[in-house]
Each structure stands twice: as structure tokens, then as C-alpha cells.
Amino acid sequence: MAKAKVSKTITGRFKITSRGKILHLSGGLKHRRSKERTGLRIRGKGMKEMARADKRRLRGVLGL
């Protein structure tokens, strides 16, 4: 079976390290409704490690 095409949005938001860890960009402000907007603006950048269930699902999608 052919590998499913993965959009650039998904591949751009996820990063696989040399050791095989899957990291994802934290969600933007538009995805999180919160009163502490300035705090989120500072803390909401960078990469985070994914939850185990999400990793499994993503490995299937990316064909890893």
C-alpha cells in the first residue's frame, strides 16, 4: 500500500530528532483561549515532546 501524503503543515510542525524522538511545536494563541495572553506569548514558543499515544499515531501517519 502506498504511503499517505502528509501535508507540509504537519511536517513543518513536527520534528524527529536523530534519536527518534518526536517533538511538536506548541499551539498558537488562536488555539488557546486564555486570559493570560502575555504569559502565553512568552511561553508558547518552542518544541515539546509528544504524549506516547500521539507519537504512535504520528509514526503511522509519517510512515516511520
C-alpha cell at 23: 517533538
Q: Show me where the domains of the chain are located.
A: 8-62
How distant, in Å, are the alpha carbons of 5, 27, 29, 30, 47 from that of 39? Answer: 36, 14, 11, 14, 17
Predicted local distance difference test score (pLDDT) of residue 40 = 47
Confirm whether pTM is higher than 0.85. Answer: no
Q: Quick one: pLDDT at residue 28?
A: 53
Residue 40: what residue type? L
Consecutive 10-residue averages of pLDDT for the chain (64 residues): 65 74 63 50 57 77 72
What CATH architecture applies to the domain 8-62? Irregular (4.10)
